[in-house]
Amino acid sequence: MLLKCINCSYTYDIDKIIYLCEKCNDLLEVVYDLDKIGNKLDSTWKNIPLSVWKYQPLLPIDTNIDRVTLSEGGTRLHRLNKFSSFINIKNLYVKNEGDNPTGSFKDRGMSITVTKAKSLGASIIACASTGNTSASLAAYGARGGMKRIVLIPTGKVAYGKLSQAMVCGAKVIQIESNFDKCLEVIMELSANFPDIYLVNSINPFRIEGQKTLAFEIIDQLGHVPDCIIVPIGNAGNISAIWKGMREFLELGLIDKLPRMIGVQAEGSSPVVSAFKAKKMEATKILKPDTIATAIRIGAPASSKKALRAIYDSKGYAERVSDKEILEGQMNLAKLEGIFVEPASASPIAALKKLIRKGIISSDDEVVCIATGNGLKDPDVVTNFLKKPLEVKADLTSIKNVIDDEME
C-alpha cells in the first residue's frame, strides 16, 4: 500500500505525513496491491452488516489499529416511488447520507482519517470547512481525544453545523473571507506547523473512507446502477465514489461501472464550466455564491480527480439554480418525507434538466447522493415557507383553519 501522485506517479510511504506530491504539487491517492486483497475477500465478508469498516480489507488501516469510530456508514438507500413518477424515472433512489453520526457523508472519511492521524501520533487535527467537515472533525476529534481546529468563512455558515463543531469542542475560527481562502490558510498552517494534521479531502485518507459509499450502493442494490449523481463542492466525494467503483471492478466484484454525474450550483460551478469546455482542470471562481452554502466553493481542491471521474465514466456535469435547488429540496420532502440540506438536493434538482437533455433516460437506474441532513440548515427553507397559523385554543377556531387548509 502506497501514496501515489495522480500526475507524475511518484510514490510515497503510506505513513508519510504528506498532502500533495513533493515533486509536482499534485494530488495523491492511496494505491493497493489489489491481487493480495482479492485473496482476503472470502464469502463471509459479504454477510457483515453495512458500515464503513465492513470494507476494512480495502481501507488503509491495519486490523490491529484502534479505530476512532461512531458507527459511520450503513446509511439507507430509499427507492423513490412518488417522486420517480413525478419526474418520470422508473428506478430512482436516494442514498441518505444524513443518516451518518453527525448528519453528513463526511463521517465516512473522517473516521478513517482521524484513526490514521491518531496512529501516526498526531495530536491536533484541523480543517477548513463550509460546515459539515467541521462538525465531523469536531465529533471524531472528541472521540479520538485530539485537539481540533476549524477555519470557517465569514457570513453564511449554517448554524446547525457550526453549533455541532462548537459543542463538540473544536476551536472554531472564522476567517474574513470565503472557503477557498480558509483552505489556503489551513494548508499553509499545517505546512508551517507539522504538529497540525490536515483532514480536508486533499488528504487521501478522507477519500478512502468516502469510497465506501460506492461499495454500499452495490451491496444494497445487488448490482451497479446506471448513473450516480453527486453534488460537487471541493470535489472529493465524486472522486471517492468513482475510486471505490474502479476498485470493485478491478477486484472482479462487479462487471460494469456507473456514469458519474456531478452537480454544482449556478453561482459556484467551476467544475461544470471546465467540463463544458472539455478541460481537465477547473478555473477558480473568485466570488462563488449560492444558497447551498455547503458547496459554495470557487476553487475545488480535487477538481482534477472529479473531472477524471466524470470523463472516464462517460458521465456529465450540470449546474442548477438556487430556485431549482429549493424546489428539489421541497419536492423530495413533500413527496417522500426525506428532508435534506440544500446542497444535498442539487442532484434531485438536476434530474429534469438531465432527462430533457437526454443525459439520463426514464429507463436508467439512478442513485442520487443526498449528502447531508436537512436539519443542518433549516433556515433556508423555513424562510420560504408560510409561518404556522396562530389560533385560539378552541375546537371551532382550529376546525375552521383545518377546513380552510383542506380546500
* Site residues for ligand F0G per CB under 6 A: 104, 106, 129-133, 201, 231-237, 294-295, 341, 343-344, 371-372
For residue 358, what are the contacts with CB-CB under 8 A and spacing of at least 6?
Answer: none
Nearest to ligand F0G of 122, 282 (CB atom): 282
Shortest distance, position 150 Cβ to ligand F0G, whole Å: 9
Least Cβ distance, residue 209 to ligand F0G (angstroms): 12
Contact between 261 and 318 under an 8 Å Cβ cutoff? The reply is yes
Nearest distance, CB of residue 129 and ligand F0G, angstroms? 3
Q: Which is nearer to ligand F0G, 212 or 344 (CB)?
A: 344
Give the β-pairing of 77-79 and 91-96.
Answer: antiparallel
Minimum CB–partner distance for residue 262 and ligand F0G (Å)? 8
| CB of 80 or CB of 294, closer to ligand F0G | 294
What are the grid coordinates assigned to 169, written together? 469542542
Closest CB 295 distance from ligand F0G, rounded Å = 5
386, burial (CB in 10 Å: exposed 0-12, middle 13-18, buried 19+) = exposed
Cell numbers 429540496 correspond to 329
Alpha-carbon distance 388 to 318, whole Å?
36
Plot region of 200 (φ>0 → left; ψ -120 to 50 → alpha; else → beta): beta
Q: Closest CB to ligand F0G among 99 and 119?
A: 99
Q: Which of residues 84 and 104 has its CB atom nearest to ligand F0G in the complex? A: 104
Q: Is the dihedral of CA 62, 111, 293, 263 positive or negative?
A: positive
What DSSP assignment string belongs to 30-45?
A: EE--HHHHHHH--HHH
Q: How far is CA 116 from CA 123, 130, 218, 254, 294, in A?
A: 11, 23, 26, 29, 25
CB of 293 to ligand F0G, least distance (A): 9
In the complex, least distance from residue 233 CB atom to ligand F0G, rounded to whole angstroms: 3
Q: Please, are residues 240 and 302 in contact by the beta-carbon 8 Å criterion?
A: no
Pick the closer one to ligand F0G by CB: 196 or 251: 196
Measured from the CB atom, is 231 or 258 closer to ligand F0G? 231
